Amino acid sequence: MSLFGDLNEVKIMGNITGEPELRFTASGTPVANFSVATNRRFKQGEEWKDETEFHNVVVWGSLAQQLTQRSKKGTRVMVIGRLQTRSWEGQDGRKNYKTEVVADDAFLIDRYEKGKSEDLPAAVATSGANGAGGANSSSSAPMGQQSDPGYSAGQSASPAKAAPQDDVIDPDDLPF
């Protein structure tokens, strides 16, 4: 037995590049697909360069349904999951490969509710044990967890005091 096991964990934060697509398997399981763009800025010699990567993301179950209801193209999202490569044979007989991030969790940094007349303000999360949230109205709970007004990520035994519903954090008021 090895002291150090294998690790396949991915964390990305970026913007959704197109409308998330929700489908259902033959057995009725929801699955969502979308792409996330992440940017990297680096210095090459005396010049700053920008580089963008596009990541294919797959989300399963109730998290897939929640994400497609609460996000759209341009929504900032953090995805935590694992890398998986699929392969299939195309009609031309060639073998095709696609590497995807299979999400275990997703956190909306910006928020959008379908059916609303305008975008809702961003629910900006703090770093640390509170995670990056915004999927639930006044908590930083991950999208896959219950939206309990007393829920506070990082506290499992005793519920936190519920935040008033009318408290909205304006991103322009943040010091960074």
Q: Domain for residue 136, yes or no?
A: yes
pLDDT at 10 over 70: yes
| 155 within domain boundaries | no
Instruction: Band the pLDDT of 171: cuts 50, 70, 90.
Output: low
Asked if 136 contacts 147 with a C-beta cutoff of 8 angstroms, the reply is yes
Residue 168 lies in a domain: no
Q: Whose CA is closest to 131, among 159, 152, 110, 158?
A: 152
pTM of the model: 0.62
In a domain, 59, yes or no: yes
The confidence score (pLDDT) of residue 173 equals 60
3-class DSSP assignment, residue 10? strand
Residue 46 DSSP label = T
Question: What mean pLDDT is predicted for residues 26-47?
Answer: 95
Q: What is the pLDDT at residue 127?
A: 31
Tell me the CB-side half-sphere exposure of residue 39, using CA atoms within 13 A: 8
Q: What is the pLDDT of residue 69?
A: 92
74 — alpha (psi -120 to 50), left (phi > 0) or beta?
A: left
The answer for 21, left when phi > 0, alpha when psi is -120 to 50, beta otherwise, is beta
Mean pLDDT of 16-32: 96
Arithmetic mean of pLDDT, 124-129: 32
On whether residue 34 sits in a domain, the answer given is yes
Q: Is residue 153 part of a domain?
A: no
| Residue 89: φ, ψ to 5° | -100, 125
Give burial (CB, 10 Å; 0-12/13-18/19+) of 13.
Answer: middle
Find the CATH number of the domain harbouring 95. Answer: 2.40.50.140
d(C-alpha 134, C-alpha 37), whole Å: 19
Confidence of residue 174 (pLDDT cuts 50, 70, 90): low
In a domain, 73, yes or no: yes
Residue at 158 is within a domain: no
> What pLDDT was estimated at residue 3?
75
Share of the chain above pLDDT 70, in %: 61
Q: What is the pLDDT of residues 76-119, one digit of tens each?
A: 999 999 999 999 999 999 999 999 999 999 999 976 665 544 44
Length of the chain as a residue count: 176
**How open is the CA angle 60-118-29, to the nearest 5 degrees?**
15
The whole domain housing 101 covers: 10-141
Q: Which amino acid is at 31?
A: V
Q: What's residue 115's pLDDT? A: 53
Quote the number of domains for the chain: 1
Alpha helix locations (H) across the chain?
62-70
**pLDDT tens sequence across 136-150:** 333 333 444 433 333
**pLDDT value of residue 110:** 78
